[in-house]
Amino acid sequence: MISQNFEYSSPATLKDALALLSDGSAKVLAGGMSLIPLMKLRLAAPEHVVDMRRVPGLDTIRQAPDGIHIGAMATHYQIESSPVLRAHCPLLAETASHIGDVQVRNMGTIGGSVAHCDPAADYPAALFALEAQVRLTSAKGGRALSFGDFLVDTFTTALEPGEIVTGIIVPAESSGTGVSYQKLHQPASGFAMVGAAVRIARANAGIGFVRVGITGLASKAYRATKVEQILESTGDIEKAAAAVADGVEANSDLNASAHYRSHMARVYTARALKVALARAV
Ligand SMILES: Cc1cc2nc3c(=O)[nH]c(=O)nc-3n(C[C@H](O)[C@H](O)[C@H](O)COP(=O)(O)OP(=O)(O)OC[C@H]3O[C@@H](n4cnc5c(N)ncnc54)[C@H](O)[C@@H]3O)c2cc1C
């Protein structure tokens, strides 16, 4: 199908882009991997589209004292292949490598993915495990939110009209932290039926801290704090993974029943915990 007619702008500066977006009526175009199909299916019909691809400086990945700053327009491929992320935040690079196919990874952006907020997207699991921050900017100024506060529900974020995602901040891992992202993917699209992202650091002979993010299971991704607490206190991977779906209303759809998804969440969480622990030295 062909989309409805729309006005197209391609600003060359962030200031111009924010001015065009300021009344909240225009839509941002990033990689177009989600927006364009929605427009062609007429599930979205924006009157004005503001293409961010000519705006300079929004796709950089750099290390700073407070963490690694990733521009919203960094593509999944840039994140997967970034030497800075591979060395200092391997969980995000590994997660990006699981997204869709080569074309999707070359075009799609991290800002577009988090703004779109698909409950089966991969990044949210990693961003919960990493306790990431999201930087938001509008013509009136900027603010930063924890990823947990940014993500509200299925396809719903804390973005206000006129506000865009300009970056994500993730921590640089201390040496010795083991990470893993394990995913049961939908075979046609690659989206996560269940995805588990884990960071584990050892302390003395046991486990220091554990962070677990889950995507695909419920209406929104979440941090599985119960799994973290059980593993930190008992060191028992199977017991910890068994708690991943406790109190969670699992999605049921054509791809997987709630029962199957919950079971797979336990299986993939256990796998991610085992791999991360083996990588923690
Ligand atoms: C075949 C296929 C397979 C896929 N498989 C996967 C998968 O396995 N895992 C996965 O996680 N994803 C998958 N995706 C989705 C993909 O990751 C998209 O890239 C992503 O969801 C949207 O990013 P984008 O840059 O293309 O955004 P766009 O499509 O350009 O925009 C998406 C939405 O976000 C808004 N937006 C974009 N950027 C910003 C910003 N900076 N600030 C505010 N709002 C913004 C847009 O207005 C729009 O509403 C798949 C997509 C396709 C087409």
Residues 6+ apart with CB under 8 A from 133: 67, 144, 145, 146, 147, 168, 169
C-beta of 111 in contact with ligand 1 (< 6 A): yes
- Closest by CA position to 155, among listed 185, 121, 192: 121
Determine if ligand 1 sits within 6 Å of the CB of residue 190: yes
CB 112 within 8 A of CB 95: no
pLDDT at 205: 77
Tokens read off for 255: 């791809």
Condensed to tens digits (0 to 9), the pLDDT of residues 136-162 reads 999 999 999 999 999 999 999 999 999
Count of other CB atoms within 10 angstroms of residue 156: 11
Distance 174 CA to ligand 1 centre (A): 30
6-32 pLDDT, tens digit per residue, is: 999 999 999 999 999 999 999 999 999
Helix (H) or strand (E) holding 259: helix 258-279
Enter the pTM of the model.
0.97
Any ligand 1 atom below 6 A from CB of 100: yes
Ligand 1 contact via 116 beta carbon (within 6 Å): yes
112 ligand 1 Cβ < 6 A = yes
Rounded to the nearest angstrom, the distance between the alpha carbon of 114 and the centre of ligand 1 is 8
Q: How far is the CA of 168 from the centre of ligand 1 (A)?
A: 15
Q: What is the pLDDT of residues 201-259, one digit of tens each?
A: 998 878 989 999 999 999 999 999 999 999 999 999 999 999 999 999 999 999 999 99
Residue 115: CB within 6 Å of ligand 1?
A: yes
